[in-house]
Amino acid sequence: MKIKGSTALVTGANRGLGLAYAKALLAAGAKKVYAGARDPSSVTLKGVVPIKLDVTSAADIAAAVTQCGDVDLLINNAGVTVRGETLLSDGGVDALRDLMETNVYGVLAVSRAFAPVLASNGGGALVNMLSVLSWITLPGTSIYPVTKAAAWSLTNALRNELSKQGTLVVGVHAGLIETDMIKGIGNVTLPRSRPEDIAAAVIKGIEAGDSEVIADDTSRNVKAGFVATPAAYLVTSGA
């Protein structure tokens, strides 16, 4: 689909990658960009329409559907992470449940609610922001990758279910991005991408009709490592 003239909704659009998406959409000629955030007053980008949207709130999602009935591009960007917990730590199970609510169930809830909207507007596109951690786990990040692996599978399932209405479903994989989310992750030395570069790659992928956007070298290298022996996702750090 073409971005020029489109109407987009970006979740988690008040900062970081979500803000970069909103800017990129405006620059590419989107007719309207709804910027979803838990606190719409935190959306300060000129030219967008702030909306209250906590992706874990059924009431917020229903209100967003009513307000944003002209959307033909949905970018599920909102996501959360956790520090100081692992799958086997005392708080690991609760932390996993908390992250699943936003990173998986929130994505599903927004996608389910807006699927009829996309259909009524010609099919359009649905973009899910995933991660290279959909495929691998790094030291100290064991909980977040579980949710992103689930979101990857969810994205593939949605692609099948939405194909009949002509909706392009795009999964985006990227490594570390220079946003608030990666602060405090420790001594991880992977390269870091600018949010603007990731957003530009996704815009290009949408317009090309790509079902998957491998947005940086980290993700490209990891995906290439699937055929290695041992495969990239089987390699442990020993940490």
- Written as six digits, the tokens of 130 are 């995933």
**How high is the pLDDT of residue 235?**
82
Residue 11's pLDDT band, with cuts at 50, 70 and 90, is: very high
**How high is the pLDDT of residue 55?**
98
CA-CA distance, 125 to 138, in Å (whole number)? 31
**pLDDT (tens digit, 9 = 90+) per residue, 83-140?**
889 999 999 999 999 999 999 999 999 999 999 999 999 999 999 999 999 999 987 7
What number of other Cβ atoms are within 10 A of residue 188's Cβ? Answer: 13
Q: Is the pLDDT of residue 239 over 50?
A: no
User: Which stretch of DSSP H or E encloses residue 33?
Assistant: strand 32-37
CB 171 within 8 A of CB 212: yes
**pLDDT (tens digit, 9 = 90+) per residue, 30-47?**
999 999 999 999 999 999
Nearest to 61 by CA among 18, 14, 120, 110: 110
Percent of the residues in the chain that have a pLDDT greater than 90, as a whole number: 85
Going by the DSSP 8-state scheme, the letter that residue 46 receives in this structure is T
State the DSSP string of 204-224: HHHHHT-SEEE-SHHHHHHHH
* Identity of the amino acid at 166: G
SS3 (DSSP) at 171: strand
CA distances from 198 to 21, 84, 143, 193, 209 (A): 8, 27, 23, 7, 17
Structural domains in the chain, CATH included, are: 7-234 (3.40.50.720)
Which residues are CB-neighbours of 206 under 8 A, at least 6 positions away?
A: 1, 3, 73, 125, 127, 168, 170
Average pLDDT score over residue span 187-204: 86
Average pLDDT score over residue span 207-214: 98
State the DSSP string of 103-159: IIIIHHHHHHHHHHHHHHTT--EEEEE--GGGT---TT-SHHHHHHHHHHHHHHHHH
Q: How would you class 49 by CB atoms within 10 Å of its CB: exposed for 0-12, middle for 13-18, buried for 19 or more?
A: middle
Q: Please tell me whether the overall predicted TM-score, pTM, comes out greater than 0.75 for this model.
A: yes
Which residues are CB-neighbours of 39 under 8 A, at least 6 positions away?
A: 14, 52
Average pLDDT score over residue span 70-79: 98
Residue 189's pLDDT band, with cuts at 50, 70 and 90, is: low
Q: Is the pLDDT of residue 190 over 80?
A: no
